[in-house]
Amino acid sequence: MTKALKINKNSEQGVLELLKFLLESGKVKGVFTLKKISKDGAVAYSLITKSDELKDAVPLFPLMPVNAGKLLSRFTLRGETTEPVAAVVKPCELRAFMELVKREQGSLENIFVVSSTCGGVYPLKMAVDGSIDKNLSKYWDAVKKAEIPTNLRSACKGCGEFKPYAADMTVDLISKNDIDKQCLIFLNTEKGMEFAKGMKAEFLEKELDKGKLDKFRSKREAEKKKLFDEIETKMNGMDGLIEIFGKCIGCHGCMRVCPICYCKLCEFESPDCEYKPSNYEMELKRRGGLRVPPDTIYYQLGRLTHIGISCVGCGSCEDVCPVDIPLSIIFKKVGESVQKMFDYIPGKSIEEKIPLITFEKEEFAEVED
Amino acid sequence: MSISEPDLKNKGAIISAKLGTKQAIIDILEKAMDKGIFDAVLIPMRVPAGDSFAYVLIKDKSLLKEAFPLPPVMSVQGGHAVSSVTRLGKGKTKIAVVMRPCEIRATIELSKLGQTNLENITLISIDCPGVLPISDFLSDPKKSIKLFDDAVQKWDDKIMRPVCQICDKSSMITGDIHIGTLGAKKDSFFIISSSQKGNDVLDKLDIALKDSIDSWEAKVKIISEEKLKKRKKNLKELKSKIGGIDNLLDAFSQCINCHNCMRVCPICYCRLCYFDSDKVKHPSEDYLQRAESKGSIRFLPDTTLFQMGRMMHMSLSCVSCGACEDACPMSIPVAQIFSMVADDTQGLFDYVSGRSLDEPLPLVTYKEEELHEVEDAND
Amino acid sequence: MKKEEEFMPKILAFLCNWCSYAGADLAGTSRLKYPPSILPIRVMCSSRVDPLFIIKAYLAGADGVLVAGCHPGDCHYDKGNYYTRRRFAMLKKIFEELGLESDRLLLSWVSASEGTKYAKVATEFTEKIKKSGDNSVKKEIFL
């Protein structure tokens, strides 16, 4: 039996109560969570050190302005934090952070992770026109009933990895139907129990309701299948790829917000991808014409091979795409297909090696001549 | 008679375009390729899915019939396209580039920044009615193309991007040849040359610059003045809305640091932006310390620093093309803000970005006696 | 005349310095006959081949791409070719997922003493590519 913490407040208030306790008891020096930062309600990740600043915090707000894994990496890139910091992140953000830690782009040391079973988030576009606030009650109604809220990002609609793997605490949002009255936080690790000690709340012995989670998962899987089937009809060879990516404007926003793409200078922005006039002349001779700047397809295929193995399907790429290319589904579908080859779930465990830096002596004989 | 005589400076050629301006432009380009005046043409084409447009460097003339000289969207700023072909040298191919005036201006700025080589390039601009916001266009490409065509007929900018609606340089000639559609009689347009290179090309094409362009100039003047008036009004409103640190922070509060604006900006040519470099990656203690001094900080911090830094770095060359705003996933009015700032910074040096290749960039030159107003009066 | 019209594919071959390149060399010095379709590029180890190289070659219009290295267990750098195999398997999978012609990619192990095997691989792969025909990507404009 896992220990759990019961707070008789709605889930968001419960989490805030916990964060307040952590800050005020000095168990953590800072809290990393979503917060309203402007008068018109813009929500951004913030690092909070004074508990009265928590009044504007919205830890469970259904939006991912930036994948927090990328932010935690930035926070700990120059070395682990010497002061403990609690971070409230979504499961895919946690998995992204783990993948980055594996790539030596951050450190888990002194980061106390609070995650949740995740109901998904809305597209960034809805943050722009302010429609998330209008949809909030509908969102929580759906989550309460373990349903998929309408208008979610497609990456979230079809996400089967809504339960965090390596969080110290997990806020249960999916398998409870009274999240508006009660906040249940599971203490998964010793650190989790340690940090909860002293909090004025009820301590229970409890498990996540596996049956309910499974039921929810099958809803998500059904949705995923639909999305995958739809994209599969379009991803048919080079013509299909050109149809899909033809409208790409080459902003590389997908790469820049991708939590896995950590390179300081991307290959596709490096001198390797700048061409001499003689290169163009050669291509012109052969093709009669060439799109410029070139390398639209090369960039997308290249990114698939570089990050597909670790793609956590967070959907940030699609969220920032100014021309609405269904990147999240393409990357998720291709990503999952290669991850399956190695039985790898990116970010599940810090011990598991990234498949491309390890090997077995006897494998994949089928790809050899 | 030589066409480069000075008294012919305000003259152009009236070209008959029974099959439409687009077809006539394509015909001229094809003829120029036949005559070996150009080896290739850089011009927008519709992408195979039909849902956008892309610059294509065309050598095979048969592709020209698919060309789209004035597409309804700016998917890639033309300056980028020219730079990607000529950044590493001039090559042997003589290329005609057909772009909007702001794209030509960006190309000229890039040339001053050493990022394009214009030696074998002939820049051809067209009177620009503006472009649609890319998101509007994508919501229904087919319908948008029709809406755009109608708007061009009436020269009505209501559906264009906000920054295009206040562009007073939409007919500015800074390249070699300009195609003027304003003030022309039905089924015709003007061809105007503005450089020796342009004269030579038209000479070889047997296009004589003997017609008056007064009606074009008159129409352009009216439109530019109207737009300038609107520009001043809109930018004044914008300034009152975003002026002051609190408003400025609010304006950029939705920014998610994707740096799309920087990537699509034709002027931001740095391979590795300062704001993506190690300089902006700090130890965790620094972040915590900053948070403690205020109770909390947004993470990542320094969004406004990035925006203001970019203003410092590129506003003197900003051509107000609007690519940044198109690419912003959070719909921040970056182009309008940058355009406003650019007016002021360029005004300081009486500089207009992309106006002329001969004007040096203001920050790489100086006058001994200038700008005393920013000095301490006691000195 | 008929012979001239026949399609001769262009196959880019990344050959590891220690085994496969030497194998190719041996095939040559042994005067073994194989088609002139192979354009070899010597790399120090098959694991030097970033999947990007293969993609780039494919998009540039190579009709086939061959990656050849030492047999598993015989890598000059101990285990480079094991990584190669994983990457190659992954790349093939991605090609399949996207509906691209993964048959145009081949991974083969050829040791320094296997001149005959090299000639055989070159011949058979060429024959296979001949059947697949021209890589149509070489004519694409909107890449």
Q: Which residues 44-63 of B are in CB contact (within 8 Å) with A?
A: 45, 47-49, 51-52, 54-60, 62-63
Q: In what order do the strands lie in the sheet with A169-171?
A: A202-206, A2-7, A183-187, A169-171, A111-116, A85-88, A30-36, A43-48, B296-298
Contacts of C101 in chain A (CB under 8 A): 237
| Average pLDDT for chain A | 96
Secondary-structure breakdown of chain B: helix, strand, coil percentages, each rounded to the nearest 5: 45, 10, 40
* C1-21: pLDDT as tens digits: 455 578 999 999 999 999 999
For residue A157, pLDDT over 80 is answered with yes
Report the pLDDT averaged over residues A162-180.
93
Write down the ipTM of this complex: 0.94
Lowest mean pLDDT among A217-231, B363-377, C94-108: B363-377
Using DSSP's 3-state secondary structure scheme, residue C35 falls into: coil
* A251-304: pLDDT as tens digits: 999 999 999 999 999 999 999 999 999 999 999 999 999 999 999 999 999 999
| pLDDT for residue B3 | 43
Q: Most B CBs within 10 Å: which of A77, A111, A270, A280, as the mutation test of the B interface?
A: A280
> Among residues B324, A242, A88, which one has the least CA distance to residue C59?
A242
Alpha-carbon span A151 to A1, nearest angstrom:
36
Nearest Cα residue in chain A from C72: A361
For residue B227, pLDDT over 90 is answered with yes
Per-residue tokens: A271: 């001198």
Report the pLDDT averaged over residues A8-33.
96
| pLDDT for residue C4 | 59
Are C99 and A236 an interchain contact pair (Cβ–Cβ within 8 Å)?
yes
Alpha-carbon span A304 to A310, nearest angstrom:
10
Q: Does B49 touch chain C (CB under 8 A)?
A: no
Report the pLDDT averaged over residues C24-46.
96
Report the pLDDT averaged over residues A153-159.
97
Are B52 and A30 an interchain contact pair (Cβ–Cβ within 8 Å)?
no
Phi, psi torsion values for B159, nearest 5 degrees:
-90, 0
Phi, psi torsion values for B39, nearest 5 degrees:
-95, -25
Are A246 and B47 an interchain contact pair (Cβ–Cβ within 8 Å)?
yes
Q: Does B36 touch chain A (CB under 8 A)?
A: no
| pLDDT for residue B64 | 95
Residues 6 or more apart whose CB falls under 8 angstroms from that of B37 comprise B94, B96, B201, B204, B205
| pLDDT for residue C3 | 54
Report the pLDDT averaged over residues A161-179.
94
Nearest Cα residue in chain C from A290: C141
Q: Does B56 touch chain C (CB under 8 A)?
A: yes
Task: Assign A118 a pLDDT band (cuts: 50, 70, 90).
Answer: very high
Q: Which helix (H) or strand (E) holds B233?
A: helix B214-242
Q: Does B54 touch chain C (CB under 8 A)?
A: yes
Of A47, A66, A291, nearest to B291 by CB-CB distance is A47
Neighbours of chain A (3+ CB pairs under 8 A): B, C
Contacts of C137 in chain A (CB under 8 A): 238
For residue B5, pLDDT over 50 is answered with no
B374 to chain A nearest CA, in Å? 33
For residue B295, pLDDT over 80 is answered with yes
Q: Does C72 touch chain A (CB under 8 A)?
A: yes
Of C59, C90, C92, nearest to A309 by CB-CB distance is C90
* B311-359: pLDDT as tens digits: 999 999 999 999 999 999 999 999 999 999 999 999 999 999 999 999 9
Report the pLDDT averaged over residues A135-164.
96
Residues β-bridged to residue A85: A30, A111
Q: Does B57 touch chain C (CB under 8 A)?
A: no
Q: Does C141 touch chain B (CB under 8 A)?
A: yes
| pLDDT for residue A39 | 85
Are B54 and A291 an interchain contact pair (Cβ–Cβ within 8 Å)?
yes
Are B63 and C141 an interchain contact pair (Cβ–Cβ within 8 Å)?
yes
Are A242 and C143 an interchain contact pair (Cβ–Cβ within 8 Å)?
yes
Give the number of other Cβ atoms within 10 Å of residue B376's Cβ.
5
Are C142 and B63 an interchain contact pair (Cβ–Cβ within 8 Å)?
no
* C80-106: pLDDT as tens digits: 999 999 999 999 999 999 999 999 999
Contact C88, A367 (CB under 8 A): yes
Contacts of B63 in chain C (CB under 8 A): 141
Q: Which fold has domain C2-139?
A: Rossmann fold (3.40.50)
For residue B365, pLDDT over 80 is answered with yes
Per-residue tokens: B173: 């000639």
B138 to chain C nearest CA, in Å? 19
pLDDT higher at A2 or B173: B173
Report the pLDDT averaged over residues B68-86.
96
* B171-196: pLDDT as tens digits: 999 999 999 999 999 999 999 999 99
